[in-house]
Structures are given as C-alpha cells and as structure tokens.
Amino acid sequence: MRQLTEAPDHIAHHEHPRKGFFTDTSICIGCKACEVACKEWNRNPHDSAFELLESSYDNTGSLGADTWRHVAFVEQSGQQIEQARESGRALVSLGMPGIGPPASRPSSAAPGIVPSDTASSDTTPPDTPEFRWLMSSDVCKHCTNAGCLDVCPTGALFRTEFGTVVVQDDVCNGCGTCVAGCPFGVIERRSDGIVAPKTERDFTPGEQAATRNVGVAQKCTLCYDRMVDDQTPACAQACPTTSIKYGDREEMVATARQRVAELQTQGMSEARLYGANDFDGVGGTGSVFLLLDEPEVYGLPPDPRVPTADLPQMFKRAGIAAAGMLAATAVAFVAGGRR
Amino acid sequence: MTVTEFDSYRPPEPPRKRRRGGKGRRRGAGGADGSREMPMVPEPEFTSYYGRPVVKAPPWENPIAVYFVLGGVAGGSSLLALGAQLADLPELRRNSRISAVAAAGVGAIALVTDLGRPERFLNMLRTIKLTSPMSLGSWILAAFSTGAGVAAVSEVDRMTDCRAPLGPLRKVLRAAEHPAGVVAAVFAAPLAAYTAVLLSDTAVPTWNAAREDLPFVFVSSAALASGGLGIITTSVSQARPARALAVLGAAGDLVATQVMERRMDPVAAEPLHEGGPGQTLRWSRRLVAVGGLGALLGGGNRIVAAASGAALLAGSALTRFGVLHAGLNSAADPRYTIEPQKRRLAARRRAGITHDSITTAG
C-alpha cells in the first residue's frame, strides 16, 4: 500500500528532513495566541458570528476550514483525574514501543495504590487534587499515511518536500472527498455563508477583503510559505509557553519521549504521547502531542485508521459485486430472453 | 434526601410515576419543572469533547445521492442494452441505450452541482489516482459516457429516420455503435459498484463499517432500478430480460442489505435504523419487495409492470438516500466514531497486540 500512497518516505527529493510539531499540552495555558497568530498569518476568515458555545472557555469549537489551530478546554473533577492516571498506568504496563520512562520510575513501585503516586514524591509539581483544567492546541496531524491526500481525485493535495500535506487552492474543485477521508476531522470545505461583513463590530466601515478560497478544501499547511524561508510556523512562533514546538519530526518525537518520561517520573502517570508511534493506523503523525488523558477527552479519535489501508480489500469486494452484476444480467437474458 | 434546611419548606413531592418502555420518549430530557428524574452521569465508557463530532461529514448533499441512483441506472441499462444487442431485441436495446446516456448525463450534472467550485469539474480528469475512488470513478464515468453516448446517438438517429445531415459520418456511426455499446457495458458494472467504495473509503463510521458488503447492496440496487426502468419503457414482449434482472436485483438487494447490517459493527450500524435514514431505508425495502414481487408475478401486464418498475426505481433511490444520510448522521455523533474505535483497540490489546496504538506511554 505504501508503494501506492504518497507517504513521506516515498517522495523523490530528500534535501529536507520531515518537519513537524510537538504540542506539549502539559504546559499549555489556553491563551489561544496560536489560534490568533494562525488566523492572522493565513488570513483565515472568522468562522462564526462571535457566538459563545456555552460549554467551556473554548468558543472556537473545533478545527475546520477557517480554524487551523484549535485550543481545547476541559475541566475535570478529581475522579476524572484518577481515571486518567489509571488509564495512563495501564498504557505503561502494556509495554508499548519506545518504552519511554526509565526503569526507576516510582509509579511502578506501587501499582494499584492510587494516592501514593503524588504523595510520596518530592518532585511532585503543584497539583490541585479536586479539579484540573486541560488545555490542548489541536492542529492538522500531517499523517504519514494521510487519508485526505490518498482520496483527493484532482491531485490538489500533495506531499511537500518537508513531508507535510498541503492543498493547492487553485487546483482543488471542492469535491469534499478529503473531508470524509480524514480520520481526525481536520480538513473542511470553506463555505461563504458565515463570512459576511460584521457591520456592528467592524470599526472600519467600507471595504472588507473578499474571503479567499471559498468552496475549496482548507486546512493547516504547517505554514508552508514560512517554512520555505526557514521561518517557524506562526502558531509555534506565537506560543508564549513553548507548548507548541516546531522542528525536525525525529527531533520532536525524541523531545516528546523525553518529556513524557520526565512527567512520569514526577508521578504524572496520566501523561502519554499521541501520534509518536510509526506503527499506528496512520503510520505516525507529523504533529505529535503529549496528552494528560485519553485522546477522546480532547476530541481526538482513540484509534484512527487511514481508510486507504482497507482500500485493496474494498476494491476486491467491489470487483466481486460487479462480476455478480454481470452474471445476473447474463442469467436474466438466458432466463428471460426466450420469446 | 434533604440537602439544606430550606428544603423543609418544600411541599411534599408527588410520588414518581415509573414509565417503563415508554416508546418514543428519549431519555435525558428532564422535565421543565425539574420533577422528572434527570440522568446525572453520562453513559459510561464513552467520553467525548462536549459531544462534538470527531470526524467531519463530507459536504455531500442530495445531488450526490441522485448521482448514485442515476449512475446505477445508467450502468444497469447499458448492460441491458448490450444483452439486447446480442439477443436481437431492438426495442429493449434502443430504450436501454437512451436510458443509460440520459441517466449518466443527469447524474454527471448532479455530481458537478455538488462541487464547491463546479467550474473546475474538469480537474477530476487531471490525474489518474489509484488510491482515490473519486478519481477512478470520474474516469469510469467519462469512459462509460463516451461509449453510451455514441450508441445512443445512433439510436436517436435511427428514431428520427436518419434526418440529421450526417453524410458519410452516418456510416462511421453505424459501424461504431455496437463496439461503443460494448465499451459502455465494460464500464457499466464498475460504474454501479465504485460509488460504494467511494463511500466506504472514508472515516465516516457507518460507511466505513459497511465496506465489506456495501458494493453488493449498490450493484443489486442498480440492477433492480435499471430492470425497473426497462419494464416501464419497453413493451412486455421484449422486456422479459429486464423483468428478470429486476427480480434478481430485488432479491439480491434484500439479502445483501440484511447481510451487510448483520456483519457491521452494531454501534456503527445504528444510524441505518434510526431517525429519518432508518425510515427511508425501511420504505426502500418495502418498495423493493413490492416492486420485485409485482415484476415477478404481474410483469405480463403492462400496467402492473410499469407500477412495479416505478416502485423499484423509488426503492433504489431511497436506498441511496438512506445510506448517504445515515453516514452523514454517524459522522455528526462522536459516539459512532469513538465507541467502535475504543472497542477494537481494547480487543487488540486483549489479544496481546500492543504495538499499533496511536497512544503510547513513551
């Protein structure tokens, strides 16, 4: 399958290493500077009538055609924190690849006894056991096996020399197949319905720049235009806490492994990586995340799988079905052809 | 249970009415006065980000379903036309060829109207991409339409008593019509089947979970629809193969739908049974069964045959609309994405496969 798809190790020129993000949600403060920087740099339209979603401090909602960085905000109770720690410990005990934390981590000393984790250690970070806030800046994953890229019929989506996935705005005809093909719900077709001038909010009456790329698929480009000039993507540049890190993908994964091990030795057994495994359903992601709970808590799929992985089997089944249709027609003429 | 001292001022609560198996009443809807019990804990084993969707539904609306129906009709009709061409049934051949090209033409227009930038529809033929069912389908549709178009033009020319000033081109047309009919028939079954792959090759839970058997549903639906159109347009004496195809298609459709729903992930199959799409699919099954029986038993009568054919066409259309909207609904609810994924991840872990999780401890 990798011979057919445009995986990053499958491109002709290799003068650039694969680039990626490492988003460390443990130090995200939810300031949304990344969202703003992204919108400004990419000149993305605002995506709602400034409505409040009334569920949390996150009023952006989700990634989409006009939102290429989205800061999730979750408030959790003490019980949910315990559940997150439990599921994190379960991950460690599975013996996952990459075996991050060193053998001397304290959490292995007392499995099952929950409170001793944070109580027994001096290096425990300040903790609020009653509740916590989870903040995480989500972005396009720039998958190794990208579903959107595989199903694009026009070739508008392509793999760049940096191993990222980018839409060519002038080629895309807005068929929308990539929207369905993305297992993370990132890419979306931009519509023009919600970008009318906000006269009551706009301080400069008069001309408003026309919205670009209406009707075509839009998503994070990892600031391709900045990368070609050796610039850091706008979101990573703007992040005040270095929660968003940008660099060579291998370096990012190494940093992520180091950081998750560090957190686990501090007793934060809920820390885990998302997308750092090259054997997962999308072959590893270009944007790696450090999460403090199960992925679905942040709105990420727990076990994404690129649909293309099953495509040969689907074509086989469709071939059998088509043969069946031919056979049925033949039978129909043999049975019904006599006059 | 009393929480504060102020509760003592409350009038006594009326005894709770137990409502068991109340059909149509959704749980979770508390009474406006707070008297009804409200579930305080969300369903276990399922967390999401404020109930917001994980995957996005594609921007595909009813024109896409119309295209699926008409693509199936076009494919089946051109197979009927080839059969009639070989079995020497001129009326069935003529009607089927014209049906095929008309359905393909209108279907292509429906497809183009659903694009975000319809003026760029020719970009579909910019590359041939084996991993993109949409790309392959565009080429299949283009090749099919070329063949079906030449065959149909020849039929129309014959119907108009060769009045069009074609000159020497008429000879070329007559020589090309049968090979063109074969070309159309070669791409006919792929045209009917690829749309199932187009839907299944996505992250939309219901479509993806149906990937093993959806092609069978779609080709059966195409066969019964084209057979149904054949018995509407063609006189009883020549429509026997179309009748047989309609009956075979109807039987295949009913069986394939059952098999598909049984083999799917039970959670991902739910949108096929619930709400509007569930209703649509139930009606589609009824119409297909009635139309199939009508074609089988009363196909000798032109009126009954035409009514059966109409029922079959409507049933086929409802199948595609139901499947389309069930998938769109499944993408809108995070439960259909998260629950099956969590279950398959847990199953793999139980089986000792731990190397392929996207979430890792380090």
| Strand A19-24 to A287-291 pairing | parallel
Q: Given an 8 Å threshold on Cβ–Cβ distance, is B47 in contact with A172?
A: no
Chain A partners within 8 Å of B47 (Cβ): 294, 296-297
What pLDDT, on a 0 to 100 scale, did the predictor assign at position B46? Answer: 75
Question: Would the CB atoms of B358 and A94 count as touching at under 8 Å?
Answer: no
Instruction: List, as ranges, residues 34-53 from B with C-beta within 8 Å of A.
Output: 47-50, 52-53
* pLDDT value, residue B33: 53
pLDDT at B192: 95
Please tell me the distance from the alpha carbon of residue B264 to that of residue A183, in angstroms, as a whole number.
19
Residue A104: pLDDT band with limits 50, 70, 90: very low
Confidence tier at A328 by pLDDT (50, 70, 90): very high
Tell me: pLDDT of A51 over 90. no
Cβ of B359 within 8 Å of Cβ of A5? The answer is no
Report the length, in residues, of chain A.
Answer: 339
**Predicted confidence (pLDDT) per residue in A266-314, tens digit:** 888 899 999 999 999 999 999 999 999 999 999 999 999 999 999 999 9
Most B-contacting residue of A152, A172, A314, A339 (CB-CB within 10 A), to test interface: A314
Please tell me the distance from the alpha carbon of residue B97 to that of residue B233, in angstroms, as a whole number.
12
- What pLDDT, on a 0 to 100 scale, did the predictor assign at position A119? 47
Asked if residue A109 has pLDDT above 50, the reply is no
Tell me the helices (H) and strands (E) count for chain A, helix number first: 9, 10
Chain B residues in contact with A64 (beta carbon < 8 A): 56
Q: Report CB contact under 8 Å: A176, B60.
A: yes
pLDDT at A2: 60
Per DSSP, which regions of A30-185 are E strands? 69-77, 131-139, 157-159, 165-167
Look at the pTM and tell me if it is higher than 0.95.
no
Q: What is the CATH number of domain A8-305?
A: 3.30.70.20
Per-residue pLDDT at A196: 47
CB contact under 8 A, B341 and A303: yes
Between chains, do B358 and A184 touch, taking CB under 8 Å as contact? no
Q: How far apart are CA A234 and CA A139, in angstroms?
A: 12
Alpha helices by DSSP H, listed for chain A, are 33-42, 78-93, 116-119, 147-151, 177-181, 224-227, 234-238, 249-265, 311-336
> Which of B120, B219, B360 lies closest to A325 in CB terms?
B219
Architecture of domain B62-339: Up-down Bundle (1.20)
- Rounded CA Rg of chain A: 23
Contact B203, B338 (CB under 8 A): no
CB distance B362–A154 less than 8 Å? no
Chain B interface disruption, residue of A75, A175, A288, most B CBs within 10 A:
A175
Interface touch B216/A321, C-beta < 8 Å: yes
**B354/A contact by beta carbon, under 8 A:** yes
Q: What is the pLDDT of residue B27?
A: 41
Please tell me the least confidently modeled range out of A1-15, A179-193, A302-316: A1-15
Average pLDDT per block of 10 residues along chain B, 362 residues long: 66 56 40 53 68 94 95 96 92 94 95 92 93 95 95 92 86 92 95 96 96 96 95 91 94 96 93 94 96 90 93 96 96 94 92 90 84
Provide the pLDDT confidence category of residue A10 given band limits of 50, 70 and 90: low
The tokens for A178 are 């990539």
Which residues in chain B have Cβ-Cβ distances shorter than 8 Å to A72?
49
CB within 8 Å of chain A, chain B residues 223-282? 223, 227, 237, 240-245, 248-249, 252
Whether residue B85 contacts residue B353, with contact meaning beta carbons closer than 8 Å, is answered with no
Report domain extents, chain B.
62-339
Please list, in sequence order, all residues whose beta carbon lies within 8 angstroms of the beta carbon of residue A128, skipping any fewer than 6 positions away: none
| Nearest in space to A235 (alpha carbons), one of A29, A65, A45, A70 | A70
For chain A, domain boundaries: 8-305, 312-339
Please tell me which residue of chain B has the smallest CA distance to A256.
B362
Residue B323: partners with Cβ closer than 8 Å, 6 or more residues away: B199, B207, B210, B214, B217, B272, B277, B281
- Could you tell me the pLDDT band of residue A317, with boundaries at 50, 70 and 90? very high
Q: How high is the pLDDT of residue A128?
A: 66
C-alpha to C-alpha distance for B351 and A304, rounded to whole angstroms:
19
Complex ipTM > 0.90: no
Residue A46 pLDDT: 79
Nearest CA in chain A to B349: A94
